[in-house]
Amino acid sequence: MNVLLVGSGGREHALAWKLKRSPLLRELHCAPGNAGIAQLATCHDVSAEDVPGLLALARGLAADLTVVGPEAPLVAGIVDEFTANGLRVFGPTKAAAVLEGSKSFCRELLERHSIPSAKYAVFTEPGPALRYVREQGAPIVVKADGLAAGKGAIVCESVGQAEAAIRQILVDRAFGEAGDRLVVEECLQGPELSLIAFSDGKTVSPMVPSQDHKRAGERDTGPNTGGMGCYSPVPLVTPEVFEQAVVEVLNPTVAAMAAAGRLYKGVLYAGLMLTATGPRVLEFNARFGDPETQVILPRLESDLLEIMLAVVDGKLDTLSPKWSERVAVCVVVASGGYPGSYEKGNALSGLEEAEKLADVTVFHAGTARKDGQVVTAGGRVLGVTALGDDFPAAIRRAYEGVDRITFEGAYCRRDIARRALQ
C-alpha cells in the first residue's frame, strides 16, 4: 500500500517509524515531514493545513490511505473532504473532531451522558463570566472554546487572574475566533494521565497509558509547553484504574458520539485527572499525543497499519493489538527559550552516535536539512526515546542518547520519568 502521512512533528516521526515496519506498506510519503521523517519517507512540501493541496497530493500518489497527525486539518474537515473524493483516510470527521475543536461541545456531551468531568459554565459575554468566577472563587480554570495550539487553558490561582484571563479571551481576543466563547471550569486536583485509544466508532481499543511532563522546568516548574518528555507505563495506573477509565470514560464517550450521529473513528485521546473520586475528563483530543506517541508506539507489537485499516473499515473488533511489557521513556531536547521565542537553523551533531545505542530511537520534532546538515527548525527539536526492562534502565539509556547530541542552545529536563520511580 501507498500511505501518505500528514504532519511534521515528533508524533509523525514515530508514526512513520512504526508504519515503516508494516508488511502491508509499499511506499511511505509525508507532507510536509522533517529531516528525521525524510530518512523513512518521501517528503512533499505541502502544509498540514492545506487540505486542497493534500487532496491533490494523495490523488497524485494514488495513496491507499492517508494518516492525519495534527488536529487542525481534522477539525477543518480533511476526513470529510477525502472521503467525499473516494480516498481512504484515518481520523475523525469534522463532526466528530469537534470533541477537541469545541470545549463547550465536549462539556455538554459529557454532562448529558453523566461521564465524569468538571463542573462548568459557558459564556460569550465578559459580564456574566466575571460575575460567575467571583461567585465560584479560586482556584478556577478559564478556557477558550476553540483550538488555541495548547495555550487556551488557563489555570487561575486567584479570582483576579481569572478576571484577567476572561478579558484576555473575550475582550482582547488573544485567541481570535477560538475565543468567541469561553468555558469556566472547576479546578480538579490530582495526577494527570493520558489514555489514548483507537476507535472505529463502535469498538474502543485502548493503548497503553502514558504520562507527559508539561512544564518547561525541572520538578514541574515554569511555563506550560507541548510536553518536555514522557513515559509509559504509568505505575499509578493500576489495572483497576485503567479499567475504570475505559468503562466510565472512553466507552461511553464513543457510544455518546455514535448516538449523536457523530461516529468517532480514529484516535481518541482522553486527558484525565485521577481525582479522589476516580478519573475525570480534563479534555479530549482527536489525535495521537505528542510526545506520548513516541513512548506508546515503541511498545506496540502489532502492525499499526493493519489497525488503522481496521479502524477505517469499522472492523476493530476483529483485532486485539499486542503491547510489550517494556518501559519506554522519551526525553525532549528543546531550543533555548522554548516555549517562548528561540533560534532556528543551529546545526545538530551526534545524532548517529545516539542512534547507535541499543534500544534508543531519536525522533525528530523540529528539524530541517540545510546544506547537507540537520539543523533546528522548531521549539521542540528531538524526542530521544529508550526502551528498558525497568524505569532505571530506560531513563539511563534515554539520557545516554541525549548526552551524545549537541546543538547551540539545547536544553532538556533532567528529571523525566523520575516521578515513576517514587
For position 101 contacting ligand GLY by CB under 6 A, the verdict is no
Q: For residues 158 and 259, what is the distance between their CA atoms, to the nearest angstrom? A: 39
Q: Interhelix angle for 94-101 vs 103-112, to 10°?
A: 100
Question: Which residues, 275 to 314, sit near ligand AMP by CB under 6 A?
Answer: 282-283
From the list ligand AMP, ligand GLY, none, pick the one residue 188 interacts with, judged by a Cβ distance below 5 to 8 Å according to partner type. ligand AMP
Instruction: Indicate the residue type of 262.
Output: R
User: Mapping DSSP to helix (H, G, I), strand (E, B) and coil, where does residue 397 land?
Assistant: helix
Helices marked H in 200-284: 239-245, 251-259
CB of 71 to ligand AMP, least distance (A): 11
Cβ proximity to ligand GLY, 179 vs 289, nearer residue: 289
Among 96, 106, 129, 141, indicate the residue that binds ligand AMP (CB under 6 A).
Answer: 141
Q: Which residues contact 232 (CB under 8 A, 6 or more apart)?
A: 208, 209, 210, 211, 292, 295, 296, 299, 327, 328
Q: Which region, judged by CB under 6 A, interacts with ligand AMP, from 42-50, 181-189, 344-352, 372-380?
A: 181-189
Cα–Cα nearest to 54, from 79, 71, 19, 91:
79
Among 201, 289, 366, 379, indicate the residue that binds ligand GLY (CB under 6 A).
Answer: 289
Among 25, 121, 187, 357, indicate the residue that binds ligand AMP (CB under 6 A).
Answer: 187
CB of 348 to ligand AMP, least distance (A): 29
Q: Which region, judged by CB under 6 A, interacts with ligand AMP, from 184-192, 199-207, 295-303, 401-409?
A: 184-192
Among 12, 290, 303, 359, indicate the residue that binds ligand GLY (CB under 6 A).
Answer: 290
Element (H, E) at 109: helix 103-112
For residues 293 and 231, is the Cβ–Cβ distance under 8 A?
no
Q: Percentages helix, strand, coil for the chain, rounded to the nearest 5? A: 35, 30, 35
Question: Which residues, 204 to 233, sit near ligand GLY by CB under 6 A?
Answer: 212, 226-227
Cβ proximity to ligand AMP, 99 vs 118, nearer residue: 118
| Site of interaction with ligand GLY (CB under 6 A) | 212, 226-227, 285, 289-290, 292
